[in-house]
């Protein structure tokens, strides 16, 4: 027993030294490309939506009220983060155009050139297009309502460059069905936009 404990006192430190030397050698043998990878910033931290020029905003939903809530939430979030949104007259033109133009329908399907056309027609540098869907809030055990919503947000430059596309979801509690739904929509929009800037 005594021999085993002496042996362990000698072998364990040696094993530790050998294993640490192996780790440091492996780190030295990495290629410069692999070594640089660890020091590069994460892509998620880089803003994909430049803070120059104005932004046109258009939201779509099976419920026009949900689209209006989403559009207002996008505009509020953009303005709060220092972005410039096209004026109300330009937004009204976009809405009128959306009611009669098939290109807008294609844009809602994710067609980048259709989205770029919306920006060009409103003289905006960029366009943010959002498709939102809100579920029917359910009553929870606290006798409040829990709402869920999802948003697909796409940002495109007027030159036709796709700057980012994000899918986000939101879940929120409210005292009424409408409050829970609205909070969930706003949360989904904020989550989607936070990934763009």
Mean pLDDT of the region 71-78: 92
- Which of 61-65, 86-90, 91-95, 132-136 shows the lowest per-residue confidence on average (mean pLDDT)? 91-95
Is 32's pLDDT higher than 50? Answer: no
Higher per-residue confidence, 61 vs 29: 61
Q: Are 85 and 126 in contact (CB under 8 A)?
A: no
Q: How far apart are CA 76 and CA 141, in angstroms?
A: 32
Is 58's pLDDT higher than 70? Answer: yes
Buried b (16+ CB within 10 A) or exposed e, 126-139: bbbbbbbbbeebee
- Predicted pLDDT of residue 93: 81
Residues contacting residue 85 through CB under 8 Å, at least 6 positions apart: 54, 55, 56, 57, 75, 78, 79, 91
Q: Are 148 and 175 in contact (CB under 8 A)?
A: no
Is 100's pLDDT higher than 50? Answer: yes
pLDDT tier at 123 (50, 70, 90 boundaries)?
confident
**What does pTM read for this prediction?**
0.69
Higher per-residue confidence, 6 vs 31: 6
Arithmetic mean of pLDDT over the chain: 77
């Amino acid at each position: 027993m005594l021999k085993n404990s002496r042996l362990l006192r000698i072998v364990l430190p040696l094993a530790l030294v050998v294993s640490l030397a192996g780790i440091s050698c492996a780190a030295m043998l990495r290629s410069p490309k692999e070594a640089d990878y660890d020091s590069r910033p994460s892509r998620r931290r880089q803003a994909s939506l430049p803070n120059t020029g104005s932004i046109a905003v258009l939201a779509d939903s099976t419920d026009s009220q949900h689209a209006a809530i989403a559009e207002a939430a996008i505009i509020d979030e953009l303005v709060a983060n220092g972005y410039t949104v096209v004026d109300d007259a330009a937004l009204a033109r976009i809405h009128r155009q959306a009611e009669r133009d098939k290109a807008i329908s294609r844009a809602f399907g994710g067609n980048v050139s259709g989205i770029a056309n919306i920006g060009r027609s409103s003289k905006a540098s960029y366009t943010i297009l959002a498709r939102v869907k809100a579920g029917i809030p359910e009553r929870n055990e606290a006798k409040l309502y829990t709402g869920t919503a999802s948003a697909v947000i796409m940002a495109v430059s007027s030159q036709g460059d796709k700057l980012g596309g994000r899918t986000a979801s939101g879940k929120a509690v409210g005292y009424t069905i409408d409050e829970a739904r609205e909070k969930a929509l706003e949360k989904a929009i904020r989550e989607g936009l936070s990934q763009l800037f």
